[in-house]
Amino acid sequence: MSHPLRLGIAGLGTVGAGVVQILRKQSELLSARTGRAIEISAVSARDRSKDRGVNLSSYAWEDDAVALAKRDDVDVFVELMGGEDGPAKDATEAALALGKDVVTANKAMLAMHGQALAEAAENASAVIKYEAAVAGGIPVIKSLGEGLAGNEITRVMGVMNGSCNYILTRMQDAGLPYADVFAEADGLGYLEADPALDVGGIDAAHKLAILSSLAFGTRVDFAGIELEGIERVSIEDINAAADMGYKIKLLGVAQMTGRGLEQRMQPCLVPETSPLGQLQGGTNMIVLEGDAVGQIVLRGPGAGAGPTASAVLSDICDIARGYRGAVFGQPAAGLVAATPALSQRPAAYYLRLALHDKPGALAKVATVLGEAGVSIDRMRQYGHDENAAPVLIVTHKTTRADIDHALAAMGKTAVVDGDPVALRIEEV
């Protein structure tokens, strides 16, 4: 058997403690599978005195993650602290500079500094592995980078933030408004320390940026993502969408088009009978489409100690087995700068508006849509509430620009009350 693989683990929170637990419990299984022992040499976190529910007494302690990364008895630096900059990035760079391999779950760091880190890794003949950074326990990085390596990837999409999917499905199931369910999720500890990372779509967009790079051979381009969170999704829209046969999801979509790379993370409607429409609670789902394979749907836990540590262990096992490979699926120098598509592919749209109870009001709205080049597929009007009636419209495929044009014109008709809502309906 080869010499042991020696780990330095920085970050002993939910994921880090989970990784230590698996390494302790499954050491025989892991060494049988990889052909070598996998050992922890040293660990690091902020507070040495904290009880983490795992026995750390046999490992050296470092207060400083950079010092941990540089230790002579550390072959692989395992970064589980988080944060796009700061000690996570400093220690990752320190490890790479010494030619050490890195395993990380840090999507924020990779989304913001992926290209530079990939170049640093390749210059040092080291690897960075990050299965846990996207969709927790779902092996999507290996599926895309290895399993589908023979395909031209045509589209990547999915629900990549469990907290948002929990909030949206709980709103529907309990008939509760966003603010109530947000408070409930926060109380249950489901949200990041900065909840804007979840509900603002940022965490999910970090993940999408990484998947886009792997799928399309482009440099990670977080700034190129059209981003909208779930804060403005109302219970009225969730109920109305359900009435028309749809569910609302925070959906990430990446697709290479003739107009450039389209990357979107936004609330969308999907058919309620589709796999994405059926996705409940905090579960994640990633849909991968390739020219040879067709469509693959991956579903599973996107967060939590066990699932995320499971993904970290798969990377550690890869390194122990000698499986290497380029960080984003091809040599970093060959990754091209993405040209962001300036407009979205045409799609059907869901519109919800409140119409004043006046003769000809509905006709005016139809005229405005027609004049903007937007064709109506289905329409439903509900009973008048005092002096306004909710109207739902599903359009035929159209552009966002035409929808925006129509909405602006509607505001001038004096028959529409308040701001209409427009949400894209994604073909899934």
196 binds ligand NAP (CB under 6 A): no
Distance of CA 236 to the CA centre of its chain: 25
Show the DSSP H helices in 26-106 as ranges: 27-34, 65-70, 86-97
Please report whether residue 200 would count as binding ligand NAP according to CB under 6 A: no
Tell me if 114 contacts ligand HSE by CB under 6 A: no
Assigned token pair, 19: 């990784």
Q: Which of 111, 132, 160, 389 binds ligand NAP (CB under 6 A)?
A: 132
Site track for ligand NAP across 101-130, x = CB under 6 A:
----xxx-----------------------
The whole-angstrom separation of Cα 206 and Cα 112 is: 8
What's the CA gap between 134 and 48, in Å, rounded? Answer: 29
DSSP structural state of residue 234: -
Neighbours of 188 (CB within 10 A): 10
Q: Is 249 part of the annotated catalytic residue set?
A: no
Residue 56 interacts with ligand NAP (CB under 6 A): yes or no? no
Exactly one of 207, 247, 249, 364 is catalytic; name it. 207
The correct pick among 303, 311, 327, 391 for binding ligand HSE (CB under 6 A) is 303
CA distance 62 to 65: 7
Letters for 169-208 (x = contact with ligand HSE by CB under 6 A, - = none) are -----------------------x-----x----x-----
Which residue pairs, CB below 8 angstroms and at least 24 apart, start in 174-177?
175/235, 175/239, 176/235, 177/234, 177/235
The partner in contact with residue 34, picked from ligand HSE, ligand NAP, none with C-beta cut-offs of 5 to 8 angstroms by kind, is none
Tokens 């505001």 found at: 411
Name the residue with tokens 């699926």: 329
Residue 300's alpha-carbon distances to 96, 303, 378, 407, in angstroms, are 31, 9, 34, 38
Select the binding partner of residue 272 from ligand HSE, ligand NAP, none (C-beta < 5 to 8 A, by kind).
Answer: none
Specify the stretch interacting with ligand NAP by CB under 6 A; choose among 113-121, 302-310, 338-346, 374-382: 302-310
* Residue 198: contacted member of ligand NAP, ligand HSE, none (CB under 5 to 8 Å, by partner type): ligand HSE
Instruction: Check if the beta carbon of residue 105 is closer than 8 Å to that of residue 137.
Output: no
Q: Is residue 87 involved in binding ligand NAP (CB under 6 A)?
A: yes
Among 5, 7, 12, 316, binds ligand NAP (CB under 6 A): 12
DSSP line for 191-204: S-SSTHHHHTSHHH
Q: Does 302 bind ligand HSE (CB under 6 A)?
A: yes
Dihedral over alpha carbons 56, 59, 62, 65 (to 10 degrees): -90
With beta carbons less than 8 A apart as the criterion, state whether 265 and 250 touch: yes
Cα dist. 421→43, 133, 237, 384, 388 in Å? 50, 33, 8, 18, 15
Q: Does 91 bind ligand NAP (CB under 6 A)?
A: no
The yes or no reply on residue 79 touching ligand HSE (CB under 6 A) is no
Within 29-48, the residues that bind ligand NAP by CB under 6 A are 44-47
Least gap, CB of 36 to ligand NAP (angstroms) = 25
User: Binding partner of residue 420 among ligand HSE, ligand NAP, none, CB under 5 to 8 Å per kind?
Assistant: none
| Residues found near ligand NAP in the complex (CB under 6 A) | 11-16, 44-47, 50, 65, 80-82, 86-87, 105-107, 132, 136, 303-304, 308
| Residues found near ligand HSE in the complex (CB under 6 A) | 136, 161-163, 192, 198, 203, 302-303
User: Active-site positions?
Assistant: 207
